[in-house]
Structure 1
Amino acid sequence: MPSVSNSEIKPVVSPGSQAVATSKPKPCCVCKDEKSKRDECMLFSKSADPASDCKTTIDQYRTCMAGFGFQV
């Protein structure tokens, strides 16, 4: 029986395993703090137009998501 040296053994890499490591994260897993601040502002706003009242927190969330490659 032939022997195999360590230099001849190469790890088997499935094609999908590298794609998972290099793909971007899911949108639900990033910018959690900004999202919760935005949601809280929108839900508890006493204004007639919560979107204009919470514009700064909405912009912070959009900026954070854009940093991960998402457009909202």
Structure 2
Amino acid sequence: MASLVANSSSPATALPRSTSSSPDATVKEVNPLNPNNLKPCCACPETKQARDDCFIKSAPGEGETNCREFIEAHKACMRGYGFKV
């Protein structure tokens, strides 16, 4: 049993250490279409609200056809921020 303990290494010594100290390693890329780094849930609140309101007011199963213009407007807005929808 003693030989197993002697041959094992702790996880801290088994992992390679990062030696990169370049300043570029901490710089995040900024999307020129979305410089504030908005998340998809927070982008385009106006078109999102209009789309959601239309779906809520539509009869079950009819939202897709009744709200097509709102859906497309929201997709266009999201694409404007660089999101792939």
Partner residue in 1 for 2:18: none
Q: Larger radius of gyration, structure 1 or 2? A: 2
State the TM-score, normalized to the length of structure 2. 0.56
Structure 1 unaligned spans of 5+: 1-12
Q: How does 1:55-70 map to 2 (within 5 A)?
A: 55-70=68-83
- Find the partner of 2:63 among 50, 53, 56: 50
- Partners of 1:63 and 1:52 in 2: CA distance: 17
Instruction: Report SS of the residue matched to 1:36.
Output: helix
Q: Percent identity?
A: 31
- Partners of 1:70 and 1:62 in 2: CA distance: 9
Pairing 1:36–2:49 present = yes
- Partners of 1:64 and 1:58 in 2: CA distance: 10
CA contact 1:38–1:58 (8 Å) conserved in 2: yes
- Find the partner of 1:25 among 19, 22, 38: 38
State the TM-score, normalized to the length of structure 1. 0.65
Q: Quick check: which one's helix share is greater?
A: 1
Structure 2 unaligned spans of 5+: 1-22, 32-36
In the TM superposition, structure 1's runs of 4+ consecutive aligned residues that sit over 6 Å from their partners are none
Aligned-residue RMSD, C-alpha: 2.1
Instruction: Report SS of the residue matched to 1:28.
Output: coil
- Partners of 1:31 and 1:41 in 2: CA distance: 16
